[in-house]
Amino acid sequence: MRTVTTLLAGDHFVRNSLLSSALQSLEDVQFEFREITLPWPLTPYGTVAEVDEASDAEEQLIAALPGVELAVTQMGPFTERVLDAAPDLRFLVVCRGGPVNVNVPAAIKRGITVASTPGRNAVAAAEHAVALMMGALRNLPRLHRSLVLGEWRSDLYAYDECGAELDGATVGLVGYGAIGQRVARVMLAFGAHVVVADPYVDPARVLPGIEVVELDELLRRSDVVSLHARLTDQTRGMIGAAEIARMPRGGVLVNTARGGLLDYEATVDALESGQLGAAAFDVFPAEPLPAGSRLLTAPNVVMTPHLAGATRQTALRAGSIAAEAVAAYLSGKDPAGLVTLM
């Protein structure tokens, strides 16, 4: 039976105990584990050297990696400096959709295969997007605050003050990956008409009743626009003042994908002018959200602190998908989440 020296660099969400349990379910392999626990989310992630959204733990990794063939992490900063200290590393699994905390070119140059865990938080993120969407449509934070303040606002039943329904609305999804597809199914169940803009959409995955359109048409037609695209050089800033102006007046804008997709200053301007009737966000241009952000005083906004993927099932799923990737590696196959250079 093969023995594989493995580093588990978990954290307080994707715990090492979850990772080890998932890996130990594999047959015909024995693992010799080394473990370090990274401080996220008790300590926020940030930029570490040339990688993003990582825990500041280069020294811990450098100390733990010699002799390690396989590593599994969510927030470990696998910078070029860290990779230089890992001459035996051959396979790295990152328990997230995209390995932004890994210098992928440097890893591949050193003969290290990198895999991500696509879809591990798709259910959680989709459910959260729907919750934010409904909260914005019905302005739930405003109603909650009024009760907390001892106000019984029956005046909010007035036609100009009350919310809107999903049934019969047109919902535009920018991005039709694992999360967007789940949101689409829920929207159809609510009776909404769904339009999708995604240049990479797989026609085989487009559900009956969904239209695939260009972004401009989606913006013109949608009562609700929800962002589910990846952040790339091509999508950065894809929704700005001009795009928001194309939406029907009083529309709702939701972003649970990445803050860089959206011009938030233009969004606040649109909320204040009434071009947007409401908005909902789980991601922001700077995280944590600065104390002086205009979003904190903008009208009709629902916000959560980048927690769309935060469910226990997501953590468990990350471990099981990571184990599947390890099983593929050990059998000489490409894992489902293989990361390559574009």
Q: CA 244, 306, 163, 268: dihedral to nearest 10 degrees?
A: -40
Kindly state whether residues 147 and 28 are assigned to the same domain: no
Distance (Å, whole) CA 280 – CA 185: 20
Cis amide bond preceding 41, omega within 30: yes
The catalytic residue positions are 258, 287, 306
For the sheet with 170-174, list strands across it.
210-212, 193-197, 170-174, 224-227, 251-255, 276-281, 301-303
Kindly state whether residues 45 and 154 are assigned to the same domain: no
Kindly state whether residues 272 and 152 are assigned to the same domain: yes
Distance (Å, whole) CA 162 – CA 188: 23
Kindly state whether residues 113 and 135 are assigned to the same domain: no
Q: Is the pLDDT of residue 325 over 70?
A: yes
Kindly state whether residues 143 and 75 are assigned to the same domain: no
Distance (Å, whole) CA 284 – CA 277: 19
> What is the domain-level CATH number for residue 160?
3.40.50.720
Kindly state whether residues 112 and 129 are assigned to the same domain: no
Interval 206-247: pLDDT, tens: 999 999 999 999 999 999 999 999 999 999 999 999 999 999
Task: Give just the sign of the alpha carbon dihedral 239, 98, 109, 77.
Answer: positive
Q: Which domain holds residue 105?
A: 2-120+311-330
Distance (Å, whole) CA 264 – CA 64: 41
Which residues, including other chains, have CB under 8 Å from residue 59's CB and lie 6 or more apart? none
Which residues, including other chains, have CB under 8 Å from residue 73's CB and lie 6 or more apart? 7, 8, 9, 10, 38, 92, 93, 94, 95, 101
Kindly state whether residues 176 and 44 are assigned to the same domain: no
Kindly state whether residues 275 and 185 are assigned to the same domain: yes
User: 0.85 exceeded by the pTM?
Assistant: yes
Kindly state whether residues 127 and 115 are assigned to the same domain: no
Q: Model confidence at 342, in pLDDT bands (50, 70, 90)?
A: low
Interval 154-201: pLDDT, tens: 999 999 999 999 999 999 999 999 999 999 999 999 999 999 999 999
DSSP per-residue string spanning 141-157: HHHHHHHHTT---GGGG
Question: What is the β-pairing status of strands 46-48 and 29-37?
Answer: unpaired
Distance (Å, whole) CA 164 – CA 173: 18
Q: With H, G, I as helix, E, B as strand and everything else as coil, classify residue 301.
A: strand
Kindly state whether residues 127 and 100 are assigned to the same domain: no
Instruction: Report the mean per-residue pLDDT for the chain.
Output: 97
Interval 247-266: pLDDT, tens: 999 999 999 999 999 999 99
Q: Model confidence at 16, in pLDDT bands (50, 70, 90)?
A: very high
What is the number of structural domains in the chain? 2
Task: Give just the sign of the alpha carbon dihedral 31, 36, 42, 45.
Answer: negative
* pLDDT value of position 98: 87
